[in-house]
Amino acid sequence: MQDVVLALLVKEPSHGYDLRRRLAAALGPLGGTLNAGQIYVTLTRLEKAGLVVREREETPVRGPRRKVYALTAAGRERVAAWLAESPGPGAEVTAVHLKLVAAAESGLADPLALVDARRRELLRSLAEAQRAALAHDTDSEAGLLLEGIALRLQADLRWLEACRRTWSARTPRGRGGGDG
Amino acid sequence: MSGERRRATGRSRRRGAEGTPGPGGLPRAGAGRRAAGTPGPVLRAVGLARSFGQDESLVWAVGGMDLDVPAGQTLAVTGPSGCGKSTLLQLLGGLDRPTEGEVWLGGRRIDRLRERALARLRRRAVGFVFQDFHLMDELSAAQNVELPALLAGASPPAARRRAAALLDRVGLAARARHLPAQLSGGQRQRVAIARALVNEPLVVLADEPTGNLDSAATHDILRLFDELRAAGQTLVLVTHDERVAATADRVVSLRDGLPADDTRLDGVGNGGGAGNLDGPGGPDGPDGVDGMPDVDGGAGRGNGAGFGLDALLHWED
């Protein structure tokens, strides 16, 4: 979650409440349990690590003062590195989803490029699983495991197709690609 | 990096059923072509396009595609329905004619052949496999396989011999006299594949070959395709099933009649550079976004490295 929070700060400094709102929007019902407290815990850790700084205290028209956090150069570097890193074959849907959201929100990477790269990676994993599956009996124990792995990769690939549709409809403002 | 892969798993180059290299078995010509490494693709499309309708209702099902399929390659064409993949297959097999562009088969341009010459060429040089098998209901399995051989001019005994060998090859020797109605879906498709091979075609074109099959039958068909590939048969599969596509050497994804991605899978599981786990950047990656995987389809090598299956095992104790 640290990386996602960093990504949400790339474009402009923000406060915990706003970060929570944006995360909740991306997560839907899965974000129901997120509370502002957790976000502040994460922000405090990031601050200690030198990845964010508390910039100034915003004085709102009413309500309490909010601590506004901004990304440091190191924080920015870390987001970029995280975005460039593959989430790995067994990554959960939520983790991949958050990375795509983070890419779009930060402008540091093109979600479509991430989708395509992941699609290629998963296709290669699936190729390996399928080839291994063909070499095993379907009713052997190993064959059963390979069937499960292949089905799972297939589901991930189908979901990526949906990601591609949605993100391509949503990113007419040009590819992030380079340096935000 | 290839040296790090200890297991040479994956693609089996074994022939499935040893001892059946009979005369009518697998295409000798195909194996020979591959061994000789003849230059030039078996199948080539240049600026291939096909439109339907007119004026406002004009739709480009295939929007100007270049494609080379070298001898011995298994190419999978995938994409959502309506992306033009079936149209592409029809154009490649001479079942339909392009609005623009060229199709070359075995070094010969076919899109301008007259109907009769095209039909003759299709019969000899292309084997078709369809989703719903397209077998003749009133003919036995063996007769279905023999028919294209007879139409191509083989003598009845020769056609019978080839059909028998091919049915044996697809594991249906005992069902040769059965009518299609007496066969399961998977068996029918295996008959259809035997039929597609009977004239030793330059290329087999299969349109959703497992679309009507359950997973066990799909498994059998994919194994069969794998054996064909091992024997050097050039094969083009159109499928919306990622698992089927993943058995190919190469996957081209179409969107709106154009290739959106082209992924090579022929190194996978062979220690050929796939499956290395050092992803872009590594754990504590280098600075900046320069290590970002780039979108560019084409090569797909550097950033297309997949994950080894071993990456899916998290052993904790």
Give bridge partners of residue B59 from the DSSP assignment.
B52
Does an H or E element contain A56, and which? Answer: strand A52-58
Return the HEC string of chain B.
CHHHCCCCCCCCCCCCCCCCCCCCCCCHHHHHHHHHCCCCCCEEEEEEEEEECCHHHCEEEEEEEEEEECCCCEEEEECCCCCCHHHHHHHHCCCCCCCEEEEEECCEECCCCCHHHHHHHHHHHEEEECCCCCCCCCCCHHHHHHHHHHHCCCCHHHHHHHHHHHHHHCCCHHHCCCCHHHCCHHHHHHHHHHHHHCCCCCEEEEECCCCCCCHHHHHHHHHHHHHHHHCCCEEEEECCCHHHHCCCCEEEEEECCEEEEEEECCCCCCCCCCCCCCCCCCCCCCCCHHHCCCCCCCCCCCCCCCCCHHHHCCCCC
Q: Report residue B175 as tokens.
A: 């069902």
Split at pLDDT 50, 70, 90, the class of B173 is very high
User: Cα distance from A72 to chain B (closest Cα, Å)?
Assistant: 14
Q: How much is the pLDDT for A90? A: 83
Decide if pLDDT at A111 tops 80.
Answer: yes
More confident residue, B317 or B79: B79
- What is the rounded CA–CA span in Å between residue B167 and residue B25? 9
Chain B residue with CA closest to A179: the answer is B289
Q: How much is the pLDDT for A62? A: 66
Q: How much is the pLDDT for B304? A: 41
Determine contact: B1 vs chain A, CB below 8 A.
no
Q: What percent of chain B has pLDDT over 90?
A: 66
Domain boundaries, chain B: 40-262
Determine contact: B217 vs chain A, CB below 8 A.
no
Split at pLDDT 50, 70, 90, the class of B228 is very high
Within 8 A of B262 by CB-CB distance, chain A residues are none
Split at pLDDT 50, 70, 90, the class of A61 is low
* Residue range A125-145: mean pLDDT, rounded: 90
Backbone angles phi, psi at A71, to 5 degrees: -80, 140
- What is the rounded CA–CA span in Å between residue A175 and residue A24? 25
Confirm if B77 and B88 have CB atoms less than 8 A apart.
Answer: yes
Confirm if A150 and B287 have CB atoms less than 8 A apart.
Answer: no
Within 8 A of B283 by CB-CB distance, chain A residues are 85
Split at pLDDT 50, 70, 90, the class of B30 is very low
Split at pLDDT 50, 70, 90, the class of B80 is confident
User: Cα distance from B285 to chain A (closest Cα, Å)?
Assistant: 6
- What is the rounded CA–CA span in Å between residue B28 and residue B69? 19
Split at pLDDT 50, 70, 90, the class of B145 is very high
Q: Which of A85, A119, A123 sits opposite B280 (nearest CB)?
A: A85
Q: How much is the pLDDT for A141? A: 93
More confident residue, A65 or A128: A128
**Which residue has 């096909």 as its token pair?**
B50
Does an H or E element contain A107, and which? Answer: none
Decide if pLDDT at B21 tops 70.
Answer: no
Looking at residue A82, the DSSP 8-state letter turns out to be H
pLDDT digits (tens, 9 = 90+) for B108-126: 999 999 999 999 999 999 9
Chain B residue with CA closest to A124: the answer is B306
Decide if pLDDT at B11 tops 60.
Answer: no
Looking at residue A29, the DSSP 8-state letter turns out to be G
- What is the rounded CA–CA span in Å between residue B293 and residue B302? 9
Give bridge partners of residue B65 from the DSSP assignment.
B48
Contact criterion met (CB < 8 Å) for A110 and B285: no
Query: Residues 106 to 145 of B: which have CB under 8 A from any A CB?
Result: none
Within 8 A of A112 by CB-CB distance, chain B residues are 295
Q: Report residue B279 as tokens.
A: 């992803």
- What is the rounded CA–CA span in Å between residue A66 and residue A11? 18
pLDDT digits (tens, 9 = 90+) for A9-19: 999 999 888 89
Average pLDDT, chain B: 80
Split at pLDDT 50, 70, 90, the class of B12 is very low
Query: Residues 20 to 49 of A: which have CB under 8 A from any B CB?
Result: none
* Residue range B115-142: mean pLDDT, rounded: 95
Residue B94 is which amino acid?
G
Determine contact: B16 vs chain A, CB below 8 A.
no
pLDDT digits (tens, 9 = 90+) for A32-52: 777 778 888 999 999 999 999
- What is the rounded CA–CA span in Å between residue B92 and residue B42? 11
Chain A residue with CA closest to B79: the answer is A161
Q: What ipTM does this complex have?
A: 0.80
Average pLDDT, chain A: 87
Determine contact: A92 vs chain B, CB below 8 A.
no
Does an H or E element contain A92, and which? Answer: none
Decide if pLDDT at A178 tops 50.
Answer: no
- What is the rounded CA–CA span in Å between residue B234 and residue B125? 11
Q: How much is the pLDDT for B288? A: 32
Q: How much is the pLDDT for B39? A: 62
Split at pLDDT 50, 70, 90, the class of B310 is confident
Determine contact: B174 vs chain A, CB below 8 A.
no
Determine contact: A126 vs chain B, CB below 8 A.
yes
> A–B: how many Cβ contacts below 8 A?
164
Determine contact: A157 vs chain B, CB below 8 A.
yes
Contact criterion met (CB < 8 Å) for A90 and B281: no
N residues, chain A: 180
Confirm if B122 and B139 have CB atoms less than 8 A apart.
Answer: no
Cβ neighbour number for residue A173 with a 10 Å cutoff: 8
Q: Which of A77, A132, A133 sits opposite B288 (nearest CB)?
A: A77
Q: How much is the pLDDT for A142? A: 92
* Residue range B143-155: mean pLDDT, rounded: 96
Decide if pLDDT at B46 tops 60.
Answer: yes
Q: How much is the pLDDT for B185? A: 95
Split at pLDDT 50, 70, 90, the class of B282 is very low
User: To which CATH superfamily is domain B40-262 assigned?
Assistant: P-loop containing nucleotide triphosphate hydrolases (3.40.50.300)
Decide if pLDDT at B98 tops 50.
Answer: yes
Determine contact: B298 vs chain A, CB below 8 A.
no
* Residue range B131-158: mean pLDDT, rounded: 96
Determine contact: B83 vs chain A, CB below 8 A.
no
Backbone angles phi, psi at A176, to 5 degrees: -70, -60
Determine contact: A55 vs chain B, CB below 8 A.
no
Q: How much is the pLDDT for B37? A: 47
Decide if pLDDT at B296 tops 50.
Answer: no
Least confident of A92-96, B16-20, B100-104, B246-250: B16-20
* Residue range A129-134: mean pLDDT, rounded: 92
Q: How much is the pLDDT for A66? A: 73
Name which of B5, B317, B17, B294 is nearest B167 in CA terms: B17
Mutate to test the interface with A, among B220, B287, B312, B314 (most CBs of A within 10 A): B312
Contacts for B280-287: CB closer than 8 Å, 24+ residues apart: B280/A84, B280/A85, B280/A86, B281/A81, B281/A84, B281/A85, B282/A85, B283/A85, B284/A81, B285/A81, B285/A84, B285/A85, B286/A81, B287/A77, B287/A80, B287/A81
Contact criterion met (CB < 8 Å) for A113 and B293: yes
Within 8 A of A80 by CB-CB distance, chain B residues are 287-289
Q: Which of A90, A150, A179 sits opposite B243 (nearest CB)?
A: A150
Query: Residues 236 to 295 of B: which have CB under 8 A from any A CB?
Result: 241-243, 245-247, 251, 261, 263, 265, 268-269, 274-275, 279-289, 291-295
Q: How much is the pLDDT for A67? A: 82
